[in-house]
Chain A
């Protein structure tokens, strides 16, 4: 019953419309086909494009291949648990290179550095360290941000680190008991005082809560240094002929 009514309804409604709209009715897809085309070596390169890219490529290659320092051994973030030579190098580089920038603006230095394990994007191969190395280690544009944290928030920071991932740190230390609980956490060699505030250098990605470091998102104060982490590394590599960082005891877990 209803279906018959519907039919009449449609005929009545559409019949005049069909005539009215003929001029502008346009087109309607009757068949749609979708596929994915691979861009691989079976496709010849367009020479005009290759030629257009060439001078840009040469300029980049020349700069990227300029030698900044030397690495006697290869370093990977997977070399050791809790703290790694490569992570220590990155955190130490931020501590050493960014602190003068921060001090020049504030009159006092920051206390410590916190980066993230995931932010070490490549291994550092033995041999010449070039500008390209810095780009491989840090392909992103993240920059150094210094946050002021309360003693209470610092404890959250240490609790976060106690989860065990070898996030690079400098200027602070953390010792875990065998069961993973915190035995000792120090900043600049001193215990954290609840009523003190601390200045921690990190990058803008983490400051905005990246890697769930939510304790960085609401600092007492914040200063962005306009200093990219990659440029920190480039400047650090320029400063030292040989890059041979070591694993140390800044973040460890006791065996017993």
Chain B
């Protein structure tokens, strides 16, 4: 895999570098921070590895191996967040027999911090999802599903702010339009709200009121579509501002490396997705510096 670096400078940085020596020298700068994000999407009840004769993914995946991988990364950097972009359910008999109980229990054992909901997470209906909530020891984040007239009311949050080593990481969730994808009898009175509007409002809130240093969107909208009008992660990235990373799902897209998209303000956003069935785990490392250290206004992206 060929690595590329992208360097982004803010408009103001160039003119202020000369100044920083004067203004900053008297202030003590905060220590540098390292935050690791691990992520999965569309695991689809793939609890065991694929068969060794599987034509596509021989002997790949498996929750027991994922646990080892995650533990190793956490040993290396305890300031790690583990996130999932939805479609946890459906795809193997584990779901058909246990309705998602084992999927949620294992994700809790792996200490997932948060997940968003995919369309298949409604496959046993709102009631079926609700019934598994006691097994989920992690946050379910979704900002654009209005559950107020359903059993799920109050059991999800639009976003959560995680604090790791003093760094505030705002994570919010976005789901796909359910109409036409999921039987209405299953999602019932769940209302789908416009993801761009919601993302704009939430990002604003996370940046201004919650003072987040990083903003991550967990999305089940899908990576990219031929239909230019259809909302996707790539489109969301370009239509919003203030998001650092979009972790996607739904389209089961295998990306060799995260895609870099310019947002509404010309800033870089990373969009990533790691296929499906737990055959890969995505890893994004953020190295952060004191925001007052104007010398570090440039961001280097290595992918």
Q: Which residues of A are interface residues toward B (Cβ below 8 A)?
A: 6-7, 10-11, 14-15, 18-19, 21-22, 24-41, 43-50, 52-53, 56-57, 59-60, 63-64, 132, 135, 139-141, 204, 208-209, 224
Contacts and interface: CB of A to CB of B under 8 A. Distances in A.
B47 interface: yes
Interface string B152-184: 000000000000001110000000000010010
A34 B303 contact: yes
B23 A45 contact: no
Chain B contact-residue range equals 35 or more
Contacts of B66: 39
Interface stretch (B134-142, B235-243, B274-282): B274-282
A28 B289 contact: yes
A17 to B, nearest CB: 10
Given A35-B257, A41-B59, A49 B106 contact: yes
A56 B135 CA distance: 15
Interface string B257-284: 1100000000000101010001111111
Q: Which of A32, A38, A44, A59 has the most CB of B within 10 A?
A: A32
A28 B168 CA distance: 11
B193 interface: no
B205 interface: no
Contacts of B30: 27
Contacts of B69: 37, 39, 43
B67 interface: yes
A180 to B, nearest CB: 29
Contacts of B19: 11, 15
B251 interface: no
Contacts of A14: 12, 16
B225 interface: no
Contacts of A209: 180
B214 interface: yes
Contacts of A19: 23
Contacts of B78: none
Contact of B213 (A28, A50, A52, A60): A28
A6 B11 CA distance: 10
B15 interface: yes
Contacts of A139: 91
B185 A44 contact: no
Contacts of A140: 90
A57 B16 contact: no
A213 B214 CA distance: 45
A27 B63 contact: no
5 contacts: A25-B292, A28-B297, A33-B303, A34-B302, A46-B67
Nearest to B30: A27
Contacts of A22: 27, 292
Contacts of A31: 286-287, 299-302
A41 B59 CA distance: 6
Nearest to A57: B48
Interface stretch (B96-104, B143-151, B196-204, B226-234): B96-104
A28 B67 CA distance: 30
Contact of A39 (B73, B280, B302): B280
Nearest to B52: A41
B286 A29 contact: yes
Given A10-B11, A26-B168, A40-B59, 13 more contacts: A24-B211, A26-B213, A27-B290, A29-B288, A32-B270, A34-B258, A36-B255, A38-B279, A41-B59, A49-B110, A59-B97, A64-B93, A208-B183
B61 interface: yes
Contacts of B292: 18, 21-22, 25
A209 B183 CA distance: 12
A52 B106 contact: yes
Contacts of B64: 45-47, 49-50, 53
A141 B93 CA distance: 11
A18 B274 CA distance: 39
Contact of B281 (A39, A52, A60): A39
A39 B106 contact: no
Contacts of B110: 49
B192 to A, nearest CB: 16
Nearest to B28: A22
A39 B15 contact: no
Contacts of A45: 62, 64-65, 67-68
Given A32-B301, A34-B284, A39-B69, A27 B167 contact: yes
Given A34-B284, A40-B59, A56-B102, A18 B23 contact: yes
A6 B280 CA distance: 47
Contacts of B294: 18
Contacts of A30: 32, 287-289, 296, 298-300
B283 A37 contact: yes
B15 A34 contact: no
Given A26-B291, A56-B98, A38 B60 contact: yes
